[in-house]
């Protein structure tokens, strides 16, 4: 198979998916182009991929699924039949349940042919004490190794139609999508700089008054909480905060990346 370029396509509100994909791409040694579909506007653009691209598609795991914006994520993506692709999820050391399988299925519906897939671990966006500092040096080494393995597999195959159907691990039927009754609230010391509103992946924060968030649009991705220069965004909901406390208690055993190739 001839590959001219590796193309990274991802949704990554707090950066773990992006970091992981970049390392995998570095491992392949091919030239790389990035399409960051985290912003609302980017998901209105059109993206065309050909059979000479290798497309690395990455998403975080939310409640054991891929994020609820996945329809929007795929809206502008056009792939030639059998465009070679690698599917990657990043999760916060709890579980990725059906997310990798779901990502694979959605990508295949778009015309991509999976040559490999992986679930990597990233610091939990809702709680920096879970999987703190990940992806770390060991994860990065594994991602580089994965990239090299992908390159070998591509070199070994004359034509993508000769590849066997890629098998990945995943729970099916998928877990029902969560209601999203909570969203971050804003402390009085917010100075209305508007960064949160400009950077919100789903345009859930009012640009005219960044203290106001639409709970029906909000994914609770934690980007605004992480990025606020004044530390003025936080979650006030007891039920949600109890779940986070449970995560801290139950997700202490280190999980390792899983690779399917
Ligand atoms: C709303 C929400 C739900 C999440 N659900 C899960 C989950 O089910 N399992 C898990 O291990 N991590 C979960 N995480 C953690 C993220 O999957 C993890 O932090 C991921 O690396 C974030 O990727 P990003 O930095 O590219 O945004 C969740 C995070 C958020 C914000």
Residue range 97-127, pLDDT digits in tens: 999 999 999 999 999 999 999 999 999 999 9
Distance CA 185, CA 187 (A): 7
Distance CA 235, CA 224 (A): 11
Is 15's C-beta closer than 6 angstroms to any atom of ligand 1? yes
Nearest atom in ligand 1 to 90's CA: 21
Is 63's C-beta closer than 6 angstroms to any atom of ligand 1? yes
Q: Is residue 182 scored above 90 in pLDDT? A: no
Lowest mean pLDDT among 21-30, 61-70, 77-86, 178-187: 178-187
Q: DSSP for the chain?
A: ----EEEEEE--TTSHHHHHHHHHHHHH-S-EEEEE--STGGGGS-EEE-TTEEEEEEEE-BTTB--TTHHHHHHTEEE-TTEEEEEEEEE-SS--TTHHHHHHHHHHHTTEEEEEEEEEE---TT-TTTTTT-S-HHHHHHHHHHHHHHHHHHHH-S-GGGSPPP-----SSPPPPPP-----EE-TT-----HHHHH-TT--B-SS-TT-B-TTT----SHHHHH-TT--EE---HHHHHHHHHHHHH--SPP--EEE-
Question: pLDDT tens digits for 61-109?
Answer: 999 999 999 999 999 999 999 999 999 999 999 999 999 999 999 999 9
pLDDT value for 16:
98
Q: Which pLDDT band, with edges at 50, 70 and 90, does 163 fall under?
A: confident
Q: Is residue 179 scored above 80 in pLDDT? A: no
Nearest atom in ligand 1 to 122's CA: 21
Topology adopted by domain 5-173+254-260: Rossmann fold (3.40.50)
Q: To test the ligand 1 pocket, which listed residue (21, 62, 96, 217) has its Cβ within 8 A of the most ligand atoms?
A: 62
Nearest atom in ligand 1 to 11's CA: 26
Q: Is residue 244 scored above 80 in pLDDT? A: yes
pLDDT value for 67:
96
Residue 223 Cα to ligand 1 middle (Å): 12
Question: pLDDT tens digits for 39-66?
Answer: 999 999 999 999 999 999 999 999 999 9
Give, using CA atoms, the residue closest to atom 31 of ligand 1. 221
Pairing of strands 83-91, 233-234: unpaired
pTM of the model: 0.97
pLDDT value for 180:
65
Mean pLDDT of 235-259: 95
CATH number for 185-236: choose from 3.30.70.20, 3.40.50.1000, 3.30.70.60, 3.30.70.260. 3.30.70.20
Give, using CA atoms, the residue closest to atom 28 of ligand 1. 62
Q: Which pLDDT band, with edges at 50, 70 and 90, does 158 fall under?
A: confident
> Percent of the chain at pLDDT above 90?
92
What is the overall mean pLDDT for the chain?
Answer: 95
Q: Which residues fall within 8 angstroms of residue 69, CB to CB, at 6 or more apart?
A: 11, 43, 201, 202, 219
pLDDT value for 166:
95
Nearest atom in ligand 1 to 12's CA: 26
Is 221's C-beta closer than 6 angstroms to any atom of ligand 1? yes
Domain ranges of the chain: 5-173+254-260, 185-236
Note whether 112 and 79 are within 8 A (CB): yes
Nearest atom in ligand 1 to 91's CA: 17
Q: Is residue 10 scored above 90 in pLDDT? A: yes
């Amino acid at each position: 198979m001839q590959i001219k370029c590796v193309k990274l396509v991802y949704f990554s509100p707090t950066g773990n998916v992006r970091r992981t994909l970049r390392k995998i791409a570095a491992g392949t040694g091919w030239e790389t182009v990035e399409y960051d579909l985290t912003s609302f506007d980017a998901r209105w653009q059109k993206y065309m991929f050909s059979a000479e691209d290798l497309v690395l598609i990455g998403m975080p795991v939310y409640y054991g699924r891929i994020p609820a914006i996945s329809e929007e994520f795929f809206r502008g993506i056009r792939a030639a039949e059998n465009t070679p692709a690698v599917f990657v999820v990043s999760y916060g050391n709890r579980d990725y349940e059906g997310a990798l399988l779901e990502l694979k299925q959605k990508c295949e519906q778009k015309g991509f042919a999976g040559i490999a897939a992986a679930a990597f671990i990233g610091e939990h966006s809702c709680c920096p004490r879970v999987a703190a500092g990940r992806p770390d040096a060991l994860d990065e080494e594994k991602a580089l190794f994965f990239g090299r393995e992908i390159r070998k597999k591509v070199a070994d195959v004359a034509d993508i139609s000769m590849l066997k159907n890629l098998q990945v691990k995943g729970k099916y039927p998928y877990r029902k999508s969560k209601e999203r009754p909570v969203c971050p609230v804003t402390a009085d010391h917010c100075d209305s700089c508007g960064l949160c509103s400009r950077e919100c992946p789903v345009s859930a924060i009012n640009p005219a008054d960044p203290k106001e968030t639409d709970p029906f649009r909000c994914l609770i991705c934690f980007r605004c909480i992480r990025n606020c220069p004044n530390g003025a965004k936080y979650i006030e909901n007891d039920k949600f905060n109890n779940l986070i406390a449970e995560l801290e208690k139950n997700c202490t055993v280190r999980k390792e990346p899983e690779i399917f190739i």
